[in-house]
Amino acid sequence: MRNRVKGAILGLGAILMLSSIAIAQTAPSQAKQGNEARSPWKYYPMDRAVGDGGPAPKRDLTGTWAGPGSGAAVPRGTNAQTPTAPPLTPAGQQVFDTHKPIGKYSPAGTNDPHTRYCDPFGFPQNMTDEIRGMTITTLPNRTFILIEYMNIWREIWTDGRTLPTNVGGSGKDAVDPTYNGYSVGHWEDDYTFVVDTTGLDPDSWATKNGYPHSIDAHVQERFHRDSKNDITLTMTMDDPKLYTKQFLLGEQHFRWIPNQQLENFSCIPSQVQEYLKEMGDPAGFDPNAPPRR
Amino acid sequence: MRNPVAEVIVTLLAVAALSSAVMAQDPGVRPRRQVQPGYVAEGVPKMPNAPGPAPKQDLTGAWVGPQNVSRDPMPAMTPAGEARLKQNKPYVQGGVREGDVKSFASNDPFIVCDPLGFPRDLLNHAVSSRGGMIFQPGQSRMFIMFEQQRVWREIWMDGKQLPTNVDAKGAPDSRYYGYSVGHWDGDTFVIDTTGFDERAWLDENGHPRSKNAHIQERYTRADQYNLNVVATIDDPKFYTKPWVFLKANYYWMKDQDFEETLCIPSEGIEYRDTLARPSGISADTSK
Amino acid sequence: MKTKLFMMGAILAGLAAICSPVFAHHGGAAYDMSKPVVLKDAVVTQFLWINPHPLIKADFKDDQGNVQHWTMEMGSTPASELIGWSRTSLKAGDVVTLYLWRAKTGVTVGRFNKVVFADGKIMRDTQTGADNGGRADTGVGR
């Protein structure tokens, strides 16, 4: 009995030690592997930032970053249903019930406009779904987030302006809701950039699982520069029309990409139509099947 | 503006109904409309003060255009170029035939919101909005953020050479916006681009560009508020000679910001299926 | 010996924990994951390197000599690239043996499991590439 416990502890220690050695050592050696000439234009997932790279620079998120699912082995994040599902109001539940997410309904049965048409994710889903890469760059009065998926850019005003209050309303100062909303940002301290967004087009889903948002939803992103090579992004949403309280949209991790190249990755609407015609619709769906992980 | 495609289709129907030749014969040039006082072009407000001199080697900021557009006559195409041009059926052809809407059965991929790609996104001034772009230097690159479809381009300035074997095994993939490098030639910013996904058209008239085409843009800031561009395509697969397909001016955007302009595929498809196909404007490519 | 095997297993388990999927994709809800369909010596007619999922189309001659046209989907292009796929991995004319999870609707479409090339090389799907339909252990971090 005692030997087994000892063995288990030794085993666990071995995992931790060998895993960290494996991760630390694979990056530089795998960067040299392969017989093919490496192109300076391609993203190579095995060419990963080694270690944390040293202390975080102050007030600086600029550069090109690999996110979840990129193959750069970023730390695992969380989504809106961890640990509990977002708390819907009756109005929110009503909207949520009309959404048939792909996880349960498959492409054939879903009404997710992104799956059926390649409609834009919109914000905030474009920062939690397929966020395998992004580039952050700045002007004095605004910060841009250039998202790999769909080649879309967001702008975050840092000139001190406040969020619009009359989105989707009438009156001459009213502005239209948009897929990316209206964003303002500021540095809370030397390592935390806080972004507030509202004015979101309600046609888009807040999450892949079909949680909705209203025009007046207020999403906050907190970008924390943990180190030279790491960013942690935490997102919360307040939407009193649809949710009883603020909830966590998710936490995502990003790592510096050594050669600063992103993958080429988008949905093409005509390709989505071809996919649904050849594959998605004929395959059908079974909403009663247990969801796969 | 959310559905520029629908706007175009509705407007085209209206134009056809009126049966007047409002489209210019030369597809590259828009007819000059009366410009209101306080505007340099339709929808482009004039800055309140006279422009100062151009800052040196600095394009940073938001620009709107293209206006004062012209292009050189297109050189003869190769047989491959002509064949490709014939396949592409734009919804803006060189003139409207009276009462003959069927002549516009279009297979323009932008009808369902497939990416415009480069350089069409530079040229595109769909009926409802002018094209805006923001130049922003940073991290060994020049970034360009486009109003059209909210897409971005990355122009590498670190000395990288353009890729030469796009789509070969192990090589980078062809992509809608290609691969770009840039450098300053005196006061002119020069961008060289290649590696194109051929599905996108060069322009809204259906001219093609091949994967290995080489497109060069030359941006010269004439003064504080005026940016001039000359863009040339060198594409021996489709064109027998290099072709200057764009000469234009971009003007400083007064508000330094623009609307979100996204083509929404579900709306594009709805208009195609309920309006454009039954009207014969859109070719039925499902057959 | 026993300690080594234990440690190996623990290491693999550790890697699997890092590699577990972050997102719940649509996976096999529409597919019969109980046993794969095997298309021996199928001829690839098209390999569409598209999103949301690349498609493999192949013709398969059954025992009666009838030709069946099959279409199967695999993991998205960036996910597939992580495990060695590219747009040139398959091409029209390739003769291969294809394993797939057939749609419950019974049509000749399904989710790709793995391909065995003439030289014996095997390439697998991202999410359903293990022989039991789970994620194949590729040792590649996410």
The chains in contact with chain B, meaning 3 or more Cβ pairs closer than 8 Å, are A, C
Segment B188-213, tens digit of pLDDT: 999 999 999 999 999 988 999 999 99
Cβ neighbour number for residue B111 with a 10 Å cutoff: 27
Q: Cβ of B136 and A118 within 8 Å?
A: no
Q: Distance between CA A10 and CA A8 in Å, rounded?
A: 5
Q: Binning pLDDT at 50, 70 and 90, where does residue C16 land?
A: very low
Share of chain A above pLDDT 70, in %: 86
Is the pLDDT confidence value at B99 over 50?
no
CB contact under 8 A, A76 and C25: no
Q: Is residue B96 predicted with pLDDT exceeding 50? A: no
Question: Per the CB < 8 Å rule, is A293 touching C24?
Answer: yes
Nearest CA in chain B to C89: B169
Asked whether residue C27 carries a pLDDT value surpassing 70, the answer given is no
**In this predicted structure, what is the pLDDT of residue B280?**
67
Please count the residues of chain C.
142
**What is the per-residue pLDDT for C73?**
95
Residues of B whose CB is below 8 A from C88: 169
Distance from CA of B166 to the nearest CA of C (A): 12
Q: How far apart are CA A287 and CA A110, in angstroms?
A: 10
Question: What average pLDDT does chain A have?
Answer: 88
Mean pLDDT of A246-257: 96
pLDDT grade for B272, boundaries at 50, 70 and 90: confident
Task: Give the pLDDT mean for B241-253.
Answer: 95
Say yes or no for a CB contact (<8 Å) between A103 and C142.
Answer: no
DSSP bridge pairs for A133? A66
Q: What is the average pLDDT value for chain C, to the nearest integer?
A: 82
pLDDT band, residue B117 (cuts 50/70/90): very high
CB-based contact, A27 to chain C, within 8 Å: no
B115 contacts A266? CB cut-off 8 A:
yes
How far apart are the CA of A244 and the nearest CA of chain B, in angstroms? 30
The percentage of chain C sitting over the pLDDT mark of 70, rounded to a whole number, equals 75
Nearest CA of chain B to the CA of A118: how many Å?
6
Q: Is A189 on the interface with C (CB under 8 A)?
A: no
The whole-number pLDDT of residue C114 equals 97
The residue among C113, C138, C133, C132 whose CA lies nearest residue C124 is: C113
Instruction: Look at A263 and C127 and tell me if their CB atoms are within 8 Å.
Output: no
Span of A66-75, A174-183, B51-60, B100-109 with lowest mean pLDDT = B100-109
Q: Do C88 and B173 touch (CB under 8 A)?
A: no
Instruction: Tell whether the model's pLDDT for residue B223 goes beyond 70.
Output: yes
Measured between CA atoms, how close is A22 to chain B, in angstroms? 25
What local confidence, expressed as pLDDT, does residue B284 receive? 57
Contacts of A266 in chain B (CB under 8 A): 115, 176
- CA–CA min distance A68, chain C (Å): 7
Confidence check: pLDDT of A18 > 80: no
Judge: B145–A155 Cβ closer than 8 Å, yes or no: yes
**Tens digit of each residue's pLDDT (9 = 90 or more) over C69-97:** 999 999 999 999 989 999 999 999 999 99
Cβ contacts (< 8 Å) between A159 and chain B: which residues? none
Task: Tell me the per-residue pLDDT of A126-183, one tens digit each, with 9 for 90 and over.
Answer: 999 999 999 999 999 999 999 999 999 999 999 999 999 989 988 888 899 999 999 9
Provide the β-strand partners of residue B77: B239
For C54, nearest residue in chain A (alpha carbons): A275
Torsion of CA C117, C122, C123, C125, to 10 degrees: 110
Q: In 10 A of CB A81, how many CB atoms? A: 15
Residue B174's closest chain C neighbor by CA? C87
Listed in sequence order, the residues at least 6 apart from C8 whose beta carbon sits closer than 8 Å to its beta carbon are none
Cα separation of B91 and B277, whole Å?
12
Which one of B114, B163, B259 has the shortest CB-CB distance to A39?
A: B163
Q: Give the pLDDT band of residue B156 (cuts 50, 70, 90).
A: very high
List of chain B residues whose C-beta atoms are within 8 Å of the C-beta of residue C48: none
Pair A236, A220: CB distance under 8 Å: yes
Q: Which residues of B touch A152 (CB under 8 A)?
A: 150-152
Contact C29 A279 (CB under 8 A): no
DSSP symbols for chain A: -HHHHHHHHHHHHHHHHHHHHHHHHHHHHHHH--SSPPPTTS--TTS---S--SSPPTT---EEEE-TTSSS-PPP-EETTSSS---B-HHHHHHHHH---HHHHHHHH---HHHHH-----TTGGGTSS--EEEEEEETTEEEEEESGGGBEEEEE-SSPPPPS-BT-SSTT-B--BSS-EEEEEEEETTEEEEEEE-B-TTS-SSTT-----TT-EEEEEEEE-SSSEEEEEEEEE-TTTBSS-EEEEEEEEEE-TT---------HHHHHHHIIIIIHHH---TTSPPP-
Q: Chains meeting C at 3+ CB pairs closer than 8 A?
A: A, B
The mean per-residue pLDDT over the stretch B247-261 comes to 91
Q: Which residues of chain B make contact with A113, given a CB cutoff of 8 A?
A: 266
pLDDT at residue B210 in the model: 97
**CA-CA distances (angstroms) from residue A269 to A23, B88, B139, B151, B173?**
38, 18, 32, 15, 19
| B162-185 mean pLDDT | 95
- Chain A: touching chains (3 or more CB pairs < 8 Å): B, C
Instruction: Say if the Cβ atoms of C29 and A7 lie within 8 Å.
Output: no
Do A279 and C11 count as a contact with CB atoms less than 8 A apart? no
